[in-house]
Structure 1
Amino acid sequence: MPKISVIVPVYNVENYIEKCIESILSQTYTDFELLLINDGSSDKSGSICDAYMSKDQRIRVFHKKNAGVSMARNWGIKHSLGDWICFVDSDDWVENSYLEKFIENKELDGYTMVSQGIMYDFVSRTNENFPFFIYPDKICHEVEFTDIFAKYRLLHNGCPYAKLYNKNLLERYSIYFNPSISTHEDHLFVLTYLLHCKKIILSSSISYHYMIRNTLSLSTKFHSSEELVEVSKLLIEKIIQCRNKYHFSQKCFNSAVSAFGLRQLLVAAQNSNQNNYHNIFAVLRDKKEWFVNHFVAKSLTNSLFLVLLFSHVPDCFLYWLIRLQRNLKRLS
């Protein structure tokens, strides 16, 4: 039985999947299995995965009907054989120390999460990259969580990759990715896992390379206003649960709620249309107390919109402003 299961959801990445697989097979730590979950790819991704499986017995390939990345990752979790689970996206790659840096610590137990930093690589800008989420080498027990959640911004790191999860803990508390949403489902997964952790091991290793190939990232793709309202609700609920358990500072709480829960509502307003803007603006007005007490404004545009919204400016005028802003963005 392998010690680690590496789960890679695969969908139409024929130009990138080979580099991803090769980087995993080149690991200095070799006691792992690689699960390639082909999520209904229409290109050569599936056949590339099969070719690698025929050459390396550590690889298992699953071909399934397209159902999204959450279902693919959940499939991998349910079919994994390892004691520990980590994720790699199929268009990214990892350095050969990726797994070794997870497993080298002797204090791993069934209530642990290990977290490394991430390197953002910009493909369109030659040799330009920067590290994201930089940590020291540190073992943090539950009694320290109050301080480290704020110090290392752990609530903000919702990336599912560059982390090691205990499979028994995932199964015991039925921690899976939510397939009903297509944004921040990974963040909710990480926050749920944190709620059941008793130890967090931070690693100074930055061996995961997140490839940014164009300006359209997951964070900028269009999501319906209704979905974003639901995502905001789920994120706020989960952040509240974390605060109630670990009692971190109000500043830490406000920062997380602003960046994720309340920001989703602002994006919902920006993505509203002629058929739903009245309902979406009403949702934001119902959250007035949250915005007043917890929101940390990052832009003058958002601040002005909220002032007008809570001043009961007619919805039709607010919607006209949003459309104007969208048109100006397109022109720029």
Structure 2
Amino acid sequence: MKVMFTVICTVYNAEMYIKECIESVINQSYGNFELIIVDDGSTDNSLRLCREFERKDERIRIYRQENNGVSSARNLGIESSNGDYIIFLDSDDFLDLNYLESIYRNIEKDKKLYVTELTKVLDDGSRITNDKKLFIKDFETEELIFSLLFGESKFEEKYYLGKNMRAIGGKVFQRNVIVDNCIRFDEALYIGEDAVFILEYICSISKENIGVINCEGYFYRIVDNSSVRRYKPDLLEQLILQRKIMYPILSRYNIPIAAYTIADLFDLISNDIKGVKMGEIQFRNLLDSALIWLKNYGNTGGIENENFVSNDTLDTKIRIILFFWGRVSHRSICVLAYLILMLRGIIRRIRFKNRVEF
């Protein structure tokens, strides 16, 4: 029988959560699936725990690689998959036991991407759910890309796909689209690789191919020591690389990529302001690096020459703030934090030139 779903679970030192994760898949009420587990060089007991499940359930296949990163692990899972649809599952996340059945019952012939609800789970076990139901009435591809890049929707009268469009979790992808369009996770990226993958996928289908399924099914665990919340010394280089990868796609649409570059940078930095554990020296070093980068790329000879953006796509207020920021002689964390948060507010009011009014 043809496999309907492939669940790809990437694992790295997840012995605390992997048992719950695997059990949430193998105990699904709908059974026509395969579970591909890719261990990315774990040094704890994760692989041993996975092997115990593999011996008992023939639907499980395990692959092991050196520590090449989550993108490489997911790509190996894609290449090994047989299902009509692919679902990516992180090893510290888990599924509702009726998740696959809910998706199966709602599959439509013309749909190639399904967005489902994403529920956050905190360390104390409490859950944060969306109060609003997902829906689609009508939208333009550019509008959906904006929601993906900026993490919010300004078109909620047309559609609502939740607040986590960048997240790979809670999405159901048609395998043929991935294979036929050679869509893979960029293995040079470890920041924003999900967003790049989803962007490439969305731009490979039509807006009519996107559907929603309102089921509380994918549970995303917020872990303090996760890779998302750890300080990354090459943050700026990663953001620049991400933008270079995205540019050929975004150039087909009227997307303010410079604003996204800055917004992403400051979203990450402001997360640290809000309480992510980062030492003061690391914090100051990151902000100093941000200053240097913005001075180099935020003037008439920087971003434009690298085909990131032209001046007329940058909001005037952003240029003013960057101008004064570059001339602050005695930078304090408070001053920089204020500018960062101000910039975030301005960026979220940027318009699609000649197309979208907020």
User: Normalised by the shorter chain, which TM-score bucket?
Assistant: 0.7 to 0.9
Change over 3 Å in CA distance of 1:322–1:234 after alignment to 2: farther
Match of 2:196 in 1: 188
2:298 corresponds to which letter in structure 1? L
Match of 1:104 in 2: 105
The question of whether the paired residues in 2 share the 8 Å contact of 1:117 and 1:132 is answered with no
Match of 2:113 in 1: 113
Identity of aligned residues (%): 26
The aligned runs of 1:189-228 (5 Å cut-off) are 189-198=197-206, 199-214=209-224, 218=228, 221-224=231-234, 225-228=236-239
1:210 corresponds to which letter in structure 2? Y
Match of 1:51 in 2: 52
Give the paired residue count: 300
Q: SS where residue 49 of structure 2 aligns?
A: helix
Q: Where does structure 2 lack aligned partners over 5 or more consecutive residues?
A: 145-154, 270-282, 338-358
The question of whether the paired residues in 1 share the 8 Å contact of 2:6 and 2:34 is answered with yes
Q: Distance in 2 between matches of 1:270 and 1:284?
A: 20
Cα displacement (A) at 1:82: 1.1
Cα displacement (A) at 1:2: 1.3
The CA deviation string for residues 228-257 of structure 1, in whole angstroms up to 9 with x for no partner, is: 22223434554443x36xxxxxxxx55x87
Q: Distance in 2 between matches of 1:24 and 1:50?
A: 15
The question of whether the paired residues in 2 share the 8 Å contact of 1:232 and 1:262 is answered with no
CA-based RMSD of the aligned residues comes to 3.5
Match of 2:129 in 1: 130
Q: Distance in 1 between matches of 2:310 and 2:183?
A: 28
Cα displacement (A) at 1:294: 5.1
Q: Distance in 1 between matches of 2:14 and 2:316?
A: 38
Cα displacement (A) at 1:100: 1.7
The CA deviation string for residues 82-128 of structure 1, in whole angstroms up to 9 with x for no partner, is: 1111111100111012112222234234x61011010011114x524
Q: SS where residue 120 of structure 1 aligns?
A: strand
2:118 corresponds to which letter in structure 1? I
The question of whether the paired residues in 1 share the 8 Å contact of 2:169 and 2:220 is answered with no
* TM-score (ref. length: structure 1): 0.77
Match of 1:248 in 2: none
Q: Distance in 2 between matches of 1:5 and 1:321?
A: 50
Q: Distance in 1 between matches of 2:195 and 2:321?
A: 31
Cα displacement (A) at 1:310: 2.2
Q: SS where residue 14 of structure 1 aligns?
A: coil
The question of whether the paired residues in 2 share the 8 Å contact of 1:12 and 1:41 is answered with yes
Cα displacement (A) at 1:64: 1.0
Match of 1:230 in 2: 241
The question of whether the paired residues in 1 share the 8 Å contact of 2:85 and 2:172 is answered with yes
The question of whether the paired residues in 1 share the 8 Å contact of 2:294 and 2:322 is answered with no
Q: SS where residue 222 of structure 1 aligns?
A: coil
Q: Distance in 1 between matches of 2:38 and 2:15?
A: 14
Q: SS where residue 168 of structure 1 aligns?
A: helix
Q: Distance in 2 between matches of 1:222 and 1:75?
A: 25
Q: Where does structure 1 lack aligned partners over 5 or more consecutive residues?
A: 245-252, 298-302, 327-332
Change over 3 Å in CA distance of 1:39–1:134 after alignment to 2: farther
Match of 1:307 in 2: 320
2:201 corresponds to which letter in structure 1? Y
Match of 1:300 in 2: none
* TM-score (ref. length: structure 2): 0.72
Cα displacement (A) at 1:219: 5.5
Cα displacement (A) at 1:216: 6.2
Change over 3 Å in CA distance of 1:295–1:55 after alignment to 2: farther
The question of whether the paired residues in 2 share the 8 Å contact of 1:8 and 1:88 is answered with yes
Cα displacement (A) at 1:160: 1.1
